[in-house]
Amino acid sequence: MASGTTSAMTITLAELARRFGGEIVGDAQQRVGSLAPLDKADSGQLAFLANQKYLPQVETTRAGAVLISPADLEKVAAREGLNFIVTPNPYAYFARVAQAFIDLATPAVKPGVHASASIDPGAKVAASAVIGAHVTVEAGAVIGERVKLDAGVVIGRGVKLGDDVHLYPNVTVYHGCKLGARVIVHAGAVIGADGFGFAPDFMGEGEARTGSWVKIPQVGAVDIADDVEIGANTTIDRGAMADTVIEECVKIDNLVQIGHNCRIGAYTVIAGCAGIAGSTNIGRHCMIGGAVGIAGHVTLADYVIVTAQSGVSKSLTKPGMYTSAFPAVNHADWNKSAAIMRNLDKLRDRIKALEAALDERKGE
C-alpha cells in the first residue's frame, strides 16, 4: 500500500468495531495503523478476506487482524494469536476503514476562499467550504457546508451544491444545475452543457438543398441526487425542456456521455466510455459496461446488465444480462468469418436448396 495511506496514528480493534461494527474474535486491544493484503501485512496492519481463493493465506498471514465473514471464519483452522473482526461484508468494511485512514493522513485544508477565486457577490458560499485557486462562482449559486471546489472549477448562475460536495479541478457546472449531498465529480467533467438538438429547416434536395439547422434551446437543467460520483471528463447534458436526472448513489466512470433528458436510476453503475443518447430511461441497480452504446428514447428495466461494447437499440423490459459484442480473434480468421457473415443469406439459401432436394428425393 502506498505511503499516502499510512499514518502515525494507530487504532484498537475495539475502536474500529465501535465505529464500523463487527464482532471481535481475539484481542480487542490489538492496534493497527494501516491496511495491507493478507500475504504482505505485518502485525500493525489490518488485512481482509473477500475472496475464497485467498483462504489459505489466512493460515499464514502475519496481520494484526483480519476482516472476515462468519461463514469464512468457520473454514479457518484455529490460529493461536490471530485476531479477527467478523463482519458480513469484509470488502465494504475494508473500504470504510481505508477511507478513515486516508482522512487521517490527508493534510487538513482550512476552510475559506482562495485569494485568486472569483465569487460573484450574489452567490452564497458556506463558511466551512474550501474554494480553491482560480475558481469562478457566478451569481445566485449556493454552495453547501464543507464543499470543496478545487482549482479552476466553474460554477454557473443559480447552481445549487449540497453539503460535502467535492468538485475536482477544472470541472464545469452550467447554470441552474443541482448536485445533492456528497456528490463527487472528477476533473474536467462537464455538467449541464446543451443537449444535442437541432430542428432541420431545409428546402430542396441534393446539391440544390438550402436552409440550415435551427438550434433547439435547452432550457432544462441537470438534477443530481445524493452520493453520486462522476468520472473525469464525463459529460452530462442539460435537458431540453425538463431536467436530466441522475438518481442517488449512481456511479459513473470517466469519459461517459449522457444525453439530454435521460434518467439514470438509483445505484446504477456506468463504466468508462459508455454513451447514452437522449431521453433514455435506465432503471435502478443496472450495470452498464465499458463503451456500451444505448440509443435514445429507450427504457431499461431495473437490474439490467449490459456487457462491455454492446449496443442497445430497443427497450429491455426484463432484468438480465444483454450482449452484442464479439471478442477479438486472429485477424485473418476473423476476416474469413466476416466475409461469410456478410452473405449469410446465401448460406441460408443453400441450406434451403439442400432441404428441398432431399425432400424431393424422399418423394422418389
Cell numbers standing for residue 273: 466510455
Residue closer to a copy of itself, measured from CB, 84 or 168? 168
Residue closer to a copy of itself, measured from CB, 29 or 348? 348
* Distance of closest approach, residue 264 Cβ to a copy of itself, in angstroms: 14
| Residue positions counted in the chain | 364
- Residue 237 corresponds to which amino acid? D
352: number of Cβ within 10 Å: 10
- Residue 217 corresponds to which amino acid? P
Do residues 268 and 284 touch, judged by C-beta distance below 8 A? yes
* Distance of closest approach, residue 202 Cβ to a copy of itself, in angstroms: 8
* Distance of closest approach, residue 80 Cβ to a copy of itself, in angstroms: 29
* Distance of closest approach, residue 78 Cβ to a copy of itself, in angstroms: 28
Residue closer to a copy of itself, measured from CB, 42 or 355? 355
Closest CA to 226 of 249, 204, 194: 249
Cα–Cα dist 141/334, whole Å: 55
Do residues 33 and 6 touch, judged by C-beta distance below 8 A? yes
* Distance of closest approach, residue 290 Cβ to a copy of itself, in angstroms: 5
Residue closer to a copy of itself, measured from CB, 80 or 314? 314
Cα–Cα dist 342/144, whole Å: 57
Q: What is residue 57's DSSP assignment? A: H
36: number of Cβ within 10 Å: 21
Do residues 34 and 1 touch, judged by C-beta distance below 8 A? yes
Alpha carbon distances (Å) from 1 to 6, 47, 101, 102: 8, 11, 12, 12
Alpha carbon distances (Å) from 241 to 195, 265, 297: 10, 20, 15
Cα–Cα dist 85/78, whole Å: 15
Residue closer to a copy of itself, measured from CB, 26 or 311? 311
* Distance of closest approach, residue 12 Cβ to a copy of itself, in angstroms: 21
Do residues 11 and 34 touch, judged by C-beta distance below 8 A? no
Residue closer to a copy of itself, measured from CB, 43 or 214? 214
Phi, psi values for residue 162, rounded to 5°: -70, 175
Radius of gyration of the chain (CA): 28
Residues that are catalytic: 260
* Distance of closest approach, residue 65 Cβ to a copy of itself, in angstroms: 18
Residue closer to a copy of itself, measured from CB, 80 or 359? 359
